[in-house]
Structures are given as C-alpha cells and as structure tokens.
C-alpha cells in the first residue's frame, strides 16, 4: 500500500530539509510518496530544500491559504 506524507510549508525552509531527510532515513523499504505544499512562502530556497529527495512532489501556491 502506498502511503502519502503531506507536509505543509510556510516560511519554514530551514526545517524542511531536515524533516525530509528524517523521513527518508526512517522509511527505508516502505512504499511512500512525499507531497510538499508550499503555502505562499516568501522565503527563497524551497526548491533547493526538496532537491534530490526521492518520491517527492512539490506544489507551490501563490498565496497562504
């Protein structure tokens, strides 16, 4: 069964990469996907924070809902 892990991000780029790395380290052998929803962040660097993470989809919203 595929598990979806959804992360809502708003100006949290400094904690996003460590969070994604922890998920990757603790889900070895599991079937999962990570969806990062960036909710109108004004910080730069979200694309770099998610770069190289497997099974990840980034959705960027223009405004914070």
pLDDT tens digits, one per residue of 11-44: 999 999 999 999 999 988 889 999 999 999 999 9
Terminus-to-terminus CA distance in the chain, angstroms? 30
Query: How many Cβ atoms from other residues are within 10 Å of residue 33's Cβ?
Result: 13
State pTM to two decimals: 0.89
Band (1; pLDDT cuts 50, 70, 90): confident
| Phi, psi (degrees; rounded to nearest 5) at 14 | -70, -20
Q: Are 40 and 10 in contact (CB under 8 A)?
A: yes
* Three-class DSSP category at 8: strand
Would you put residue 55 in left (φ > 0), alpha (ψ -120 to 50) or beta?
A: left
């Amino acid at each position: 069964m595929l598990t979806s892990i959804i992360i809502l991000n708003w100006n949290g780029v400094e904690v996003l990469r460590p969070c994604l790395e922890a998920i990757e380290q603790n889900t070895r052998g599991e079937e999962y996907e990570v969806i990062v929803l960036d909710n109108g962040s004004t910080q730069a660097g979200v694309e770099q924070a998610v770069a190289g993470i497997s099974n990840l989809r980034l959705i960027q919203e223009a405004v914070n809902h």
